[in-house]
Amino acid sequence: MNVLKKSKGFWLSIVLALVVFLVVHFLINSGFLNVFYINTLISMTIYIMLAVSLHLIIGITGQFSIGHAGFLAVGAYASAIITTNLGLPFALGIVVGGIAAALAGLIIGIPSLRLRGDYLAIATLGFGEIVRIALLNIDYVGGASGMMVNNLTTWPWAFACMMITIIVIVNFTNSTHGRACISIREDETAADAMGINTTFYKVIAFAIGAFFAGIAGALFSHNFFIIQPSNFGFLKSFDILIFVVLGGLGSLSGAVIAAILLTIVSTFLQEYAETRMIIYSLILIVTMIYRPQGLMGTKEITSLFKKRSTVKGGPSDDKGHTVA
């Protein structure tokens, strides 16, 4: 994976992200940000992780999944069991949440990713509902009444997990494996004819996306004092899907921007759930009519930092003359 060597734009993005982290961390420690704004920022990082992980499945590999909330739920409950019921460290809970979600991704992915289009969407939707209904009937995790969870998620934990998610998925996308996934998105039949194991790469992308959704679930469950199966219904998957579609299918930067914007909108409209869904629906309708490619299309913010040659007609020699 060679993205770490690629461009100044990548490193500039990393530096800017670290500056944002330090500034926010200073504001939190200084008491300038109250609990409401801290929770908003942590929720923003969680939704960015969910958007980026689904971006790998839909935007890069082209597999239409609408059951991402199921992986979020698996990670949330698995990590909550580790920390609350078993009393083990939070770091272990995060890792276990990611692994549990990845295993769930493999279990649902191996049989269902042979499907395409609407059939895959129905299969993933069914998986999400199976997880939710199962949690409703498991007394060990509280059933329908929910599970009390220790509040352990902090800004450093959330930001670190978000950065790891973005860096890993960017590296994967720019690797040979990522290019194989992109070829599947563009034309699965042609990719299969060229010898690419399409089912293998779809399952790998699905498992990686599920892993980071599980880590987001671990942070989600420990950011509040209680989690309930109702938190992980179809509408949660719909919210995550909107991030990817609005940002632009194939653009990680677009997914991040959309997650930030819609998290802010959702936070300030959380008392009006119906209004929030109406706004989401209107955003999707307007986007599909006037900008079907999304905010960023397939472009990334780092492309703005790439140098453009000012010499027309070809490269130049050491005297400045254009050569063929």
- pLDDT (tens digit per residue) in 216-256: 999 999 998 889 998 888 888 888 888 888 888 888 888 89
pLDDT at 2 over 60: no
Whether the CB-CB separation of 123 and 62 falls below 8 Å is answered with no
pLDDT for 320 equals: 46
The model's pTM is: 0.86
pLDDT for 268 equals: 78
Helix/strand/coil for 144:
helix
Helix/strand/coil for 196:
coil
Spell out the domain ranges in the chain: 34-232
pLDDT at 279 over 50: yes
pLDDT for 3 equals: 43
Give the whole-angstrom CA distance, residue 90 versus residue 241.
Answer: 28
Q: Where residue 200 falls among pLDDT bands split at 50, 70, 90?
A: confident
Which is nearest to 247 in space by CA: 67, 48, 11, 69? 48
- pLDDT tens for residues 94-106? 999 999 999 998 8
Return all residues near 299 (Cβ < 8 A) that are at least 6 apart.
Answer: 248, 251, 253, 254
- pLDDT tens for residues 12-41? 878 888 999 999 999 999 888 888 889 999
Give the whole-angstrom CA distance, residue 98 versus residue 138.
Answer: 21
- Lowest model confidence (mean pLDDT) among 29-43, 72-86, 279-293: 279-293
